[in-house]
Amino acid sequence: MTCEGATSGAKARMRRFQIPSGTHLSPGWLMTISILQIIATLVFASLFFITHDLHQISTCVLFLKNMGYAQYNFISLGVLIAGTVYQSILCLESLYQRRASCLYAMLGFQLWLVASSGIQSYQHPVIMSQAASCHEEKVTNDDPLATYSLIGVTSMSFLLELGLAIYLRHTFHQSLNPVHAALESLLKLDFYLFFAYGVQLLPLPLMATDGNRMVGVVEIVLIFGVSCVLFLLAWSMVLVAWNPLPWWRIMLNMAGLGLLCLGSLIYICYRLVRFMLDPRTLILRIALIFSSLVLMVALLLTMSIVTTCAAHQWQTHRLQSDEKGKSLQDQPREEEMTRDDDSALAYITPQTSRIV
């Protein structure tokens, strides 16, 4: 009976992860869409953006301000292209893990790509007019195919992946620990969002007027450093699910993470107000405000999920401590009660009825 029960349990687990008939090609199509998105983004960005921009800038003598706008333009395109590669990695992981949280993370990141490509297409002509201001004639490209090619690729990829995700929803399963699974998926998004936010600030020191920089170099270095520390502390909370830590280490990580998150939120709010009020960021205002808001929302979600994980771990520790203390206190009493019960039973019950 034991062997038969183990065999039936193994078959049930196999049926849980088995892909129903008629859907075995869908995961391949989902990955194919991600790969085609990378190729299309590279082609359109190279033909309609990078080649055209390099041709315009190469005939100019660039000052620091013009060079700053040119660097920001190419960095934004690079972040968008690298985002498609990162999205394909998330897609591959979701197909390998077969978890719903990984699928939601992939779709959320694809939605961010759609918004980023739209902002890039909208602000690209204005940025290039500042970067190549040495030309008297108009240097922007008014071809709608060139201007909105990236947003068309990302939007079509999002719609196709959303349709396939709905079609494949019955092949994905929920994690045994949904809170840790949500935190793990959210941290994967935070990793790239922090990177994109910090990289976008790199050209801003070159756009200084009268020696007054919008963002200092030391500030950018601190952003990357604090982001790495935040990610490592938050990821340590994820590892608790596989390698339980002492409760005091969890609380210490939680305290450090809370202080860093609070400081980061205050800084992002400060930067958001500065980006909205500083007239020098008029051209880049939409992209900077969007990056700040997305990072703020991601940071708030991460903080809330980490707090939930820490509270659950603390509650588990308290229950274990109470049960341990209760067992230690009740052990002598239980032994005494057992001894009294045995004496009373021996007195009441005839000796011939006792089974030795």
182 and 170 share one domain? no
Q: Which DSSP state fits 49? A: I
Using the 3D structure, point to which of 148, 174, 200 is the last residue of a domain.
174
Expressed as residue numbers, the domain containing 220 is 176-356
Using the 3D structure, point to which of 174, 198, 217 is the last residue of a domain.
174
Q: Is the pLDDT of residue 258 over 80?
A: no
Q: Is the pLDDT of residue 165 over 70?
A: yes
Where is pLDDT greater, at 39 or 128?
Answer: 39
185 and 279 share one domain? yes
Where is pLDDT greater, at 1 or 193?
Answer: 193
Asked if residue 213 lies in contact with residue 204, where contact means CB atoms within 8 angstroms, the answer is yes
Residue 256 lies in a domain: yes
Q: What is the pLDDT of residue 323?
A: 66
Asked if residue 317 lies in contact with residue 300, where contact means CB atoms within 8 angstroms, the answer is no
205 and 337 share one domain? yes
pTM value is 0.78
* Residue 1 binned pLDDT confidence (cut-offs 50, 70, 90): very low
Average pLDDT, stretch 14-35? 64
Position of tokens 């590669």?
Answer: 85
200 and 170 share one domain? no
Using the 3D structure, point to which of 120, 145, 174 is the last residue of a domain.
174
User: Could you tell me where the DSSP H helices lie in 148-284?
Assistant: 149-167, 178-200, 217-239, 247-277
pLDDT above 90 as % of the chain: 15
Q: What is the pLDDT of residue 115?
A: 93
94 and 191 share one domain? no
65 and 186 share one domain? no
Residue 137 lies in a domain: yes
Asked if residue 128 lies in contact with residue 139, where contact means CB atoms within 8 angstroms, the answer is yes
At 16, give phi and psi (nearest 5°): -65, -40
Asked if residue 288 lies in contact with residue 277, where contact means CB atoms within 8 angstroms, the answer is no
162 and 206 share one domain? no
142 and 206 share one domain? no
Q: What is the pLDDT of residue 350?
A: 46
Q: What is the pLDDT of residue 336?
A: 54
Residue 234 lies in a domain: yes
CA distance linking residue 234 with residue 51, whole number of Å:
41
Q: What is the pLDDT of residue 5?
A: 47
Query: Residue 206: which of 284, 140, 276 has the closest Cα?
Result: 284
Residue 5 lies in a domain: no
Q: What is the pLDDT of residue 345?
A: 43
Orientation angle between helical segments 26-44 and 149-167, nearest 10 degrees = 170
**Helix/strand/coil for 173:** strand
Where is pLDDT greater, at 15 or 188?
Answer: 188
pLDDT one-digit tens code per residue, 59-93: 776 777 778 888 888 899 999 999 999 999 999 98
Q: Is 184 exposed, middle or buried (0-12, 13-18, 19+ CB in 10 A)?
A: buried
86 and 215 share one domain? no
Q: What is the pLDDT of residue 132?
A: 65
156 and 210 share one domain? no
Q: Which DSSP state fits 211? A: T
Asked if residue 113 lies in contact with residue 87, where contact means CB atoms within 8 angstroms, the answer is yes
Average pLDDT, stretch 284-313? 84
Query: Residue 293: which of 197, 170, 211 has the closest Cα?
Result: 197
Sign of torsion, CA 223 226 228 234? Answer: negative
139 and 208 share one domain? no
Residue 50 lies in a domain: yes
Residue 29 lies in a domain: yes
**Cβ contacts of residue 93 below 8 Å, gap of 6+?**
102, 106
Residue 313 lies in a domain: yes
Q: What is the pLDDT of residue 326?
A: 58
38 and 158 share one domain? yes
Residue 2 lies in a domain: no
Domain count, the chain: 2
User: What are the distances in angstroms from CA 87 to CA 24, 105, 331?
Assistant: 22, 9, 57
